[in-house]
Structure 1
Amino acid sequence: MRIVDTHLHLVYPERFAYPWLDGVPALNKPHRLEDYRREAAGLGIEAALHMEVDVAEAEMEAETRFVLGLGPPIVGAIASCRPEHAGFPAFLERVVAIPGVKGFRRILHTSPDDLSGSATFVHNLRRLAPLGLPFDLCVLARQLAVGRALVEACPDVSFVLDHCGVPDIAGGLDPWRAEIAAMARLPNVSVKLSGIVAYAGPDWTVETLRPYAEHAIGSFGADRVVWGSDAPVCTLGASLTRWVEATHALLAGFPETEKAAILSGNATRIYKL
Structure 2
Amino acid sequence: MPEPPPSPAAHPAVDAHHHLWRPERGYAWLDDPELARIRRPFTPDDLCAEIAGAGVRHTVLVEGGRCHADEVPEFLGYAADTEPIAGVVAWADVADPDLPAILAGYRRLRGGELLVGVRAQVQGEPDPDYLDRPAVRRGLAAVADAGLVFDLVVRADQLPAAARAARALPELSFVLDHLGKPRIHAGAAGLVGWRDDLAALAANANVTAKLSGLVTEAGPDWTVAALRPFVAAAVDAFGASRLMFGSDWPVCLLVADYRGVRDGLVAALPPLSAAERDEIFAATAVRTYGLAV
Whole-angstrom distance in 2 between the partners of 1:263 and 1:106: 25
Moved more, 32-41 or 124-133: 124-133
Structure-1 residue corresponding to 2:148 = 133
Whole-angstrom distance in 2 between the partners of 1:117 and 1:252: 35
Residue 227 of structure 1 pairs with residue 238 of structure 2: no
With normalisation by structure 2, the TM-score equals 0.87
- Evaluate the alpha carbon distance shift between residue 227 and residue 82 of structure 1 in structure 2; reply closer, same or farther with a 3 A threshold: same
Residue 44 of structure 1 pairs with residue 58 of structure 2: no
Q: CA deviation at 1:94?
A: 0.8
| Structure richer in helix, relative to its length | 2
Whole-angstrom distance in 2 between the partners of 1:31 and 1:249: 27
- Evaluate the alpha carbon distance shift between residue 84 and residue 130 of structure 1 in structure 2; reply closer, same or farther with a 3 A threshold: closer
Counterpart amino acid of residue 21 in structure 1:
L
Cα RMSD, aligned residues only = 1.7
Residue 3 of structure 1 pairs with residue 13 of structure 2: yes
Which among 98, 103, 114 is matched to residue 87 of structure 1? 98
Q: CA deviation at 1:252?
A: 6.5
Structure-1 residue corresponding to 2:22 = 12
Q: Deviations over 1:116-135 (max 9, x none)?
A: 32212111211222433211
* Displaced runs of 4 or more, over 4 A: none
Whole-angstrom distance in 2 between the partners of 1:152 and 1:7: 24
Structure-2 residue corresponding to 1:188 = 206
Counterpart amino acid of residue 159 in structure 2:
L
Whole-angstrom distance in 2 between the partners of 1:85 and 1:147: 19
Moved more, 260-269 or 130-139: 130-139
Aligned partners of 1:84 and 1:115 also within 8 Å: no
Aligned partners of 2:228 and 2:269 also within 8 Å: no
Moved more, 78-87 or 116-125: 116-125
Aligned partners of 2:67 and 2:91 also within 8 Å: no
Q: CA deviation at 1:195?
A: 0.4
Structure-1 residue corresponding to 2:6 = none
With normalisation by structure 1, the TM-score equals 0.94
Residue 254 of structure 1 pairs with residue 272 of structure 2: yes
Q: List aligned pairs for 1:1-273, cutoff 5 A.
A: 1=9, 2-14=12-24, 16-23=25-32, 24-97=35-108, 98-113=112-127, 114-171=129-186, 172-251=190-269, 253-273=271-291
Q: CA deviation at 1:58?
A: 4.4
Counterpart amino acid of residue 77 in structure 1:
V
Q: Deviations over 1:229-248 (max 9, x none)?
A: 10011112211110111122
Counterpart amino acid of residue 3 in structure 1:
A
SS in 1 for 2:37: coil
User: Which stretches in structure 1 are left out of the alignment for 5+ residues?
Assistant: none
Whole-angstrom distance in 1 between the partners of 2:246 and 2:67: 23
Whole-angstrom distance in 1 between the partners of 2:23 and 2:185: 32
Counterpart amino acid of residue 19 in structure 2:
H
Moved more, 63-72 or 191-200: 63-72
Kindly indicate whether structure 1 or structure 2 has the higher relative contact order, using CA contacts under 8 Å at least 6 residues apart. Answer: 2
Whole-angstrom distance in 1 between the partners of 2:37 and 2:160: 31
Count the aligned residue pairs.
Answer: 272
Q: Deviations over 1:203-228 (max 9, x none)?
A: 22111100001110111111111111
Moved more, 41-50 or 114-123: 114-123
Whole-angstrom distance in 2 between the partners of 1:67 and 1:218: 36
% of aligned pairs identical?
36
SS in 1 for 2:222: coil
SS in 1 for 2:201: helix
Aligned partners of 1:135 and 1:160 also within 8 Å: yes
